[in-house]
Amino acid sequence: MTNNRLLSLDALRGFVMFWIMSGEHIIHALAKAAPIPVFVWMSSQLHHAEWNGITFYDMIFPVFLFVAGFSMPYSFDKKIQSAGVKTANDLPSEEKQKIYLSMLRRTCILIVLGFVVNGLLKFDGFDQTRFASVLGRIGIAWFLAGIIYLNFDLKKQVIWCIGILLGYYAAMKWVPVPDFGAGVLTKEGSLEAYIDRLLLPGRLHSTVYDPEGILSTIPAVSTALLGVFSGTFLRARIYYSINVKLLTMTLSAILLILIGILWDFDFPINKHLWTSSFVCFVGGFSILFFIFFYVIIDLLGLHKWAFPLILIGSNSILIYIAAEGLVDFKHTADYVFGGLIEFLPLIWQPVFAALSVTMVQLILLYFLYKKKWFLKI
For position 348, what pLDDT does the model report?
Answer: 95
Q: Are the C-beta atoms of residues 134 and 61 closer than 8 Å to each other?
A: yes
- The model's pLDDT over 145-165, given as tens digits with 9 standing for 90+, comes to 999 999 999 999 999 999 999
Of residues 226, 191, 225, 220, the one with CA closest to residue 208: 191
C-alpha span between 58 and 35 (Å, rounded)? 23
* Three-class SS state of 5: strand
**Tell me, what DSSP letter sits at residue 373?**
-
% of the chain residues with pLDDT over 90: 81
> Angle 349-370/24-33 helices, nearest 10 degrees?
160
| Amino acid, single-letter form, for residue 135 | L
Average pLDDT over the chain, rounded to whole? 93
Of residues 54, 46, 50, the one with CA closest to residue 263: 54
- The model's pLDDT over 126-135, given as tens digits with 9 standing for 90+, comes to 777 889 999 9
Task: Name 372's Cβ contacts closer than 8 Å, sequence gap at least 6.
Answer: none
307-311: Cβ within 8 A, 24+ apart: 308/14, 308/18, 308/362, 309/10, 309/11, 309/12, 309/14, 309/15, 309/18, 310/7, 310/10, 310/11, 310/14, 311/14, 311/362, 311/365, 311/366, 311/369
Report whether pLDDT(334) > 60.
yes
Burial annotation 142-174 (CB, 10 A radius, 16+ → b, else e): bbbbbbbbbebeeeebeebbeebbeebbeebee
Instruction: Give how far the C-alpha of residue 43 lies from the chain's centroid of Cα atoms, to the nearest Å.
Output: 20
Report whether pLDDT(184) > 90.
yes
For position 4, what pLDDT does the model report?
Answer: 56
% of the chain residues with pLDDT over 70: 98
> Angle 349-370/329-341 helices, nearest 10 degrees?
130
Burial class for 243, CB neighbours closer than 10 Å (0-12, 13-18, 19+): exposed
* Three-class SS state of 181: strand
Q: Are the C-beta atoms of residues 225 and 161 closer than 8 Å to each other?
A: yes
Q: Indicate the pLDDT class of residue 84, thresholds 50, 70 and 90.
A: confident
- The model's pLDDT over 249-294, given as tens digits with 9 standing for 90+, comes to 999 999 999 999 999 999 999 999 999 999 999 999 999 999 999 9
H-helix or E-strand spanning residue 222: helix 217-235
**pLDDT mean over 346-364:** 96
C-alpha span between 254 and 98 (Å, rounded)? 38
**Tell me, what DSSP letter sits at residue 238?**
-
C-alpha span between 244 and 100 (Å, rounded)? 34
Backbone angles phi, psi at 54, to 5 degrees: -150, 145
Q: Where are the domains of the chain?
A: 7-303
**pLDDT mean over 61-71:** 96
Q: Are the C-beta atoms of residues 65 and 227 closer than 8 Å to each other?
A: yes
Ranges 122-126, 206-210, 355-359, most confident: 355-359
Residue with the bigger pLDDT between 48 and 75: it is: 48
- The model's pLDDT over 305-325, given as tens digits with 9 standing for 90+, comes to 999 999 999 999 999 999 987
Q: Are the C-beta atoms of residues 138 and 110 closer than 8 Å to each other?
A: yes
For position 168, what pLDDT does the model report?
Answer: 98
Q: Are the C-beta atoms of residues 247 and 222 closer than 8 Å to each other?
A: no
Backbone angles phi, psi at 235, to 5 degrees: -80, -20
